């Protein structure tokens, strides 16, 4: 059983052998699934749709030409589908006998996959249009895992582990790179702060030396500030003194 993002529920069955009462069982499972959604005290309008999908390796409806049939609840007179929460889809694989080159719909492609995938090689799949469908390609890969030998499974798991390890190493290096970048940024900020503080101290000392009457040349030498900076500081000091 599967549930989609809207909480609608799907019952999927792969039936190989024809069994008595299968259609009754399909309706029973659908109704049980529908009813099980409602907890004690729950509200009926919260019930979600139930879709029953059966893929059979035998003919269920001999009178129907199509291999796919959809069954819903209809009004006897108007044929309107007012009761929408139940639907049943049956895929009768024996009725699909198209050649791989003559598949026209996604239903025919899936039916061909169910009929022939077990005997197909990866090369045959790659040469067909089936591989264009991402879901079919994934289904084929999963199917092949079940037919692998123990040695093939071990090799697959090892290669998968190596890929995961390599990815983890790259992620670790990426994280370390970010941490180093942050550390460098913090240290650079500290250095700039120290430099700015030292520069302010030099300027404050230079102003005091100027007020003490030292020559601008001596102030420049004593503070390691350029003459251009010292002259501007001297102008500031003179301006402040005038205002005072």
**Predicted pLDDT of residue 169:** 62
Check pLDDT > 60 for residue 180. Answer: yes
**Predicted pLDDT of residue 13:** 86
Higher pLDDT, 166 or 19: 19
Q: Which domain holds residue 29?
A: 1-95
The stretch 110-130 carries a mean pLDDT of 74
Query: What's the structural domain count of the chain?
Result: 3
Angle at which helix 134-147 crosses helix 106-116, to 10 degrees, equals: 10
| 39 and 65 housed in the same domain | yes
| 189 and 140 housed in the same domain | no
Distance of CA 194 to the CA centre of its chain: 46
Q: What is the 3-state secondary structure (H, E, C) of 148-211?
A: CCHHHHHHHHHHHHHHHHHHHHHHHHHHHHHHHHHHHHHHHHHHHHHHHHHHHHHHHHHHHHHH
Terminal Cα-to-Cα distance of the chain (whole angstroms): 89
pLDDT tier at 88, thresholds 50, 70, 90: very high
Check pLDDT > 60 for residue 137. Answer: yes
For residue 203, report the phi and psi dihedrals to the nearest 5 degrees.
-65, -40
Distances 73 to 87, 164, 198, 201 between C-alpha atoms, Å? 8, 49, 86, 89
pLDDT tier at 94, thresholds 50, 70, 90: very high
| 102 and 91 housed in the same domain | no
Helices (H), the chain: 22-36, 106-116, 122-127, 134-147, 150-211, 216-223, 227-243
Check pLDDT > 80 for residue 156. Answer: no
| 173 and 198 housed in the same domain | yes
Looking at 52, 79, 95, the residue that finishes a domain is: 95
Higher pLDDT, 29 or 175: 29
Check pLDDT > 90 for residue 106. Answer: no
């Amino acid at each position: 059983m599967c549930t989609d993002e809207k909480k609608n529920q799907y019952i999927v069955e792969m039936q190989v052998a024809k069994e008595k009462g299968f259609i009754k069982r399909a309706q029973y499972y659908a109704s049980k699934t529908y009813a099980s959604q409602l907890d004690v005290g729950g509200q009926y309008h919260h019930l979600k749709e139930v879709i029953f999908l059966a893929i059979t390796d035998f003919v269920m409806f001999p009178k129907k030409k199509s291999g796919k049939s959809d069954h819903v609840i209809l009004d006897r007179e108007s044929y309107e589908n007012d009761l929408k929460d139940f639907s049943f889809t049956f895929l009768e694989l024996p009725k699909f006998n198209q050649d791989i080159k003559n598949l026209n719909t996604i239903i025919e492609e899936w039916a061909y996959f169910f009929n022939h995938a077990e005997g197909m090689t990866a090369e045959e799949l790659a040469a067909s249009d089936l591989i264009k469908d991402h879901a079919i390609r994934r289904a084929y890969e999963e199917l092949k895992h079940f037919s692998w030998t123990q040695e093939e499974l071990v090799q697959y798991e090892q290669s998968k582990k190596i890929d995961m390890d390599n990815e983890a190493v790259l992620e670790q290096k990426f994280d370390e790179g970010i941490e180093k970048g942050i550390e460098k940024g913090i240290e650079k900020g500290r250095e700039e702060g120290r430099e700015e503080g030292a520069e302010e101290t030099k300027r404050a000392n230079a102003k005091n030396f100027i007020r003490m009457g030292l020559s601008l040349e001596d102030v420049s030498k004593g503070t390691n500030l350029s003459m251009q900076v010292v002259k501007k500081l001297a102008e500031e000091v003179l301006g402040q003194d005038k205002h005072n």
